[in-house]
């Protein structure tokens, strides 16, 4: 035995052999029973981590795709809303134009009806006026001519005179 002093650096060969044997048995037992389950657990964990990373990448890709789809759907919705708004404005303009046109037609019809009524009343008034003038002329002529012409002949004469007057106007 070699002693380097009683202390920390003392060396014993028998003790060193037992430490070596214990170490080899420990390494053999660890390699036989402990390391394989630990390696299996580590490999399984590595596989789960890889699967989780792959799933996360897929989820991220899916989220990005959904985001792009949502943006596209939003743009399409905006385009559709603008189209609907434009169509509504066009429909409103068409409806306004139709109402204006209808109002113009109604006004023209009312004006035409009024003119027609005025024309009829004018003709009726002229006819009544002619009849009155004819009666007055007959009465006046009858008084002047006193009995030379009869009433019927006077009326015919005045009517033909009035017709000649109206043809001249």
3-state secondary structure 123-166: HHHHHHHHHHHHHHHHHHHHHHHCCCCCHHHHHHHHHHHHHHHH
Asked whether the beta carbons of 151 and 127 are under 8 A apart, the reply is no
Q: What local confidence, expressed as pLDDT, does residue 152 receive?
A: 76
Domain boundaries, the chain: 13-168
67: enclosing H helix or E strand: helix 35-145
Spans in the chain with pLDDT lower than 50: 1, 3, 147
Asked whether the beta carbons of 24 and 17 are under 8 A apart, the reply is no
Q: What local confidence, expressed as pLDDT, does residue 1 receive?
A: 46
Q: Which two tokens stand for residue 91?
A: 């429909």
């Amino acid at each position: 035995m070699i002693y380097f002093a009683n202390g920390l650096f003392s060396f014993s060969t028998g003790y060193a052999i037992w430490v070596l044997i214990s170490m080899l048995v420990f390494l053999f037992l660890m390699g036989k029973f402990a390391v394989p389950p630990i390696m299996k657990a580590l490999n399984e964990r590595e596989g789960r981590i890889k699967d989780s990373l792959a799933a996360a990448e897929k989820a991220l890709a899916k989220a990005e795709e959904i985001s792009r789809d949502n943006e596209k759907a939003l743009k399409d919705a905006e385009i559709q809303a603008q189209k609907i708004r434009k169509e509504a404005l066009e429909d409103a303009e068409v409806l306004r134009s139709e109402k204006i046109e209808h109002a113009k037609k109604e006004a023209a019809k009312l004006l035409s009806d009024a003119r027609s009524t005025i024309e009829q009343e004018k003709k009726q008034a002229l006819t009544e006026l002619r009849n009155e003038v004819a009666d007055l002329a007959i009465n006046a002529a009858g008084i002047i001519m006193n009995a030379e012409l009869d009433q019927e002949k006077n009326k015919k004469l005045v009517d033909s005179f009035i017709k000649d007057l109206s043809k001249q106007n």
